[in-house]
Amino acid sequence: AKVGGLADMVGGLTQDLLAKGHTVEVYLPMYHSMRYDLIAGLEKVYDELWVPHFGQWVSEEVYAGKIGKVPCYFFPCGDRFHRDSIYGYDDDLYRFVHFNRAVLEFMTRKEIRPDIIHCHDWQMGLLPVLLFEHFIQWGFDRSRVVFTIHNIEQQGACWYGSELLGSVGLDCRNYFSFERLRDERQPNMINLMKAGIVFSNFVTTVSPTYCRDICTPEGGHGLDHILNHHHAKLGGVLNGLDYDYWNPETDSHLALNYSADTFKQKYANKNALRARTSLPDEYRPIISCVTRLVPQKGLDLIRHAVFAVLEAGGQFVLLGESPDEKVNNDFRALGAKLIDNPNVYIEIGYNEEFSRQIYAGADMFFMPSLFEPCGLSQLIALRYGAVPLVRKTGGLADTIFDAEYSDRGFPNANGFLFNDPDPSGVDSVIKRAFKCWFFQGEAFRELAYHGMLCDYSWRRSGKDYENIYNHVKVK
């Protein structure tokens, strides 16, 4: 069930923890739009799970199966998740708090008492509240919660708090204070991200720079105050990438597999990408972008870059999708406007197989985010030998080091950075990268080669999470 990097993060972390010898299970809603073809042995494992809902008890089912080696439990929660998309519905808050409660009911019945429950984003923010305020009496007194913030812009705040909390059996009056769930910017609201921050035993975010950013009034989106208050249990852990799942040496969707040592074989993928997108076979770099088309990703800057790349003599490939159909139509219109230019290809949609062919075929990867908690796309690009051109913010600043200006210096550097989120920032980064590609071919290949050798696997980050779990665990 993937919308963006959260799926990559949870997928990679759980495989790594399993490999390190821990017992790991993943609990997620049974989204209708999941890749059911990737779940092995899916079966119903519980028939009558009774979950409170507005004072009544409703009976629900639970399913289980494996993704890779990781056992997963799927909660249909009635038919609450039987929708075309994963998020974006008016009742999202109700759906997710219900799921939080259902998970704890299931653990109670099955006598599952984890040392650590690791919750992600506002969707799971109420779980530590339910756990420590209610379920603790059912033998959960040794369970601890780690809460990870992937994107602080989305907080799950609403004004119908008493109804929402009431739907899962909590009395809002006990939680409606600024030390607890009450929203500081909109004081008539409750905030589920804040619930996760206040009630869990440790809070992480997905890169050290983003961790500092969200503790400031500019980056905190109203939660900086509470984060600073809880700073002793806050830390930034850079996401890793699952290097088995994203591996150009074994990726079955590529025209030809390759590694850093057989870098030349990457060019077969450039040809294949051109064939797939009808770009002419000429002496030009391909610069690509695979992204959710949301404001965070710098939509105007992407649009500007299309023209800047064409002007500079490159080819542009964009694969993207927005939850907002208007944005999709804007980019479709851009494609239609440039229909006579053979050097640009824009596809609106979500397609993981094609994304792999883009990472493999492109010379460069463009990511002009206005903010970026971590970013996994630039790490995939590095792994596939596409040189990242990124804005210096959040996790991008923690992972990409400029070929010319970083204190690491060439050849340890692995990309090109720009500071200002405006057209001149984009122009400058494209100009520098293109100059390198056109006039210092050997240096450019070195850069891509060294990018492929960078280690952003879970090896390091998995260890960091292990340390955090051990730190909060009841000894």
Per CB under 6 A, 160 contacts ligand ADP: no
**Closest approach of ligand ADP to the CB of residue 288, in Å:** 10
As given in the structure block, the two tokens for residue 257 are 């597999």
Binds ligand ADP by CB under 6 A, chosen from 152, 290, 305, 346: 290
Structure-block tokens of residue 179: 């030390």
Q: Is 375 in the site for ligand ADP (CB under 6 A)?
A: yes
Neighbouring residues of 453: CB distance < 8 A, sequence distance ≥ 6: 260
Coil vs helix vs strand at 28: strand
**End-to-end Cα, the chain, rounded Å:** 35
Least separation, in Å, of the C-beta of 207 and ligand GLC?
8
351 binds, among ligand ADP, ligand GLC, none (CB under 5 to 8 A by kind): ligand ADP
Question: Which residue from 160, 245, 307, 350 is in contact with ligand ADP, where contact means CB under 6 A?
Answer: 350
Considering only 207, 357, 377, 457, the residue that binds ligand ADP (CB under 6 A) is: 377
Q: Residue 251 touches which of ligand ADP, ligand GLC, none (CB < 5 to 8 A by kind)? A: none
Q: Which does 321 bind (CB under 5 to 8 A by kind): ligand ADP, ligand GLC, none?
A: ligand ADP
User: Considering the rule CB under 6 A, would residue 219 count as an interface residue with ligand GLC?
Assistant: no
The binder of 291, among ligand ADP, ligand GLC, none, by C-beta within 5 to 8 A per type, is ligand ADP
Does 4 contact ligand ADP by CB under 6 A? yes
| Partner touching 353 among ligand GLC, ligand ADP, none, CB below 5 to 8 Å by kind | none
Please, which of residues 144-203 interact with ligand GLC by CB under 6 A? 150-151
**Structure-token pair, residue 88:** 């974006």
For ligand GLC, the nearest residue by Cβ is: 5
| CA gap 215, 238 in Å, rounded | 17
When the beta carbons of 102 and 380 are compared against ligand ADP, the nearer one is 380
Residue among 375 and 388 whose Cβ is closer to ligand GLC: 375
Q: Is 4 in the site for ligand GLC (CB under 6 A)?
A: yes
Angstrom distance (rounded) from CA 420 to CA 437: 23
Local structure of residue 294 (DSSP, 8 states): S
Provide the Cα torsion 70, 199, 180, 100; round to 10°.
30
Does residue number 9 form part of the binding site for ligand GLC (CB under 6 A)? yes
Residue in this structure with the two tokens 């997928």, named with its chain if needed: 11
Is residue 392 part of the contact set for ligand GLC (CB under 6 A)?
Answer: no
- CB-side exposure of 423: number of CA atoms within 13 Å? 7
Q: In whole angstroms, give the CA distance from residue 414 to residue 117.
A: 36
Supply the Cα-derived Rg of the chain in whole angstroms: 23
Residue type at position 291: T
Applying CB under 6 A, the span of 20-28, 224-232, 343-351, 373-381 interacting with ligand GLC comes to 373-381
Q: Which does 320 bind (CB under 5 to 8 A by kind): ligand GLC, ligand ADP, none?
A: ligand ADP
**CA distance linking residue 370 with residue 195, whole number of Å:** 26
- Is 376 among the residues that bind ligand GLC (CB under 6 A)? yes
H or E stretch including 71? strand 70-75
State the residue for tokens 């996401």.
239
> What is the C-alpha separation between 246 and 290, in angstroms, rounded?
15
Using CB under 6 A as the binding rule, whether residue 376 contacts ligand ADP is answered as yes
What SS3 class is residue 60? strand
Contact by Cβ (8 Å): 164, 191: no
Q: By CB under 6 A, tell whether 291 contacts ligand ADP.
A: yes
The residues that touch ligand GLC, with contacts defined as CB under 6 A, are: 4-6, 9, 150-151, 206, 239, 372-376, 395
The residues that touch ligand ADP, with contacts defined as CB under 6 A, are: 4-6, 8, 290-292, 319-321, 350-352, 355, 374-377, 380
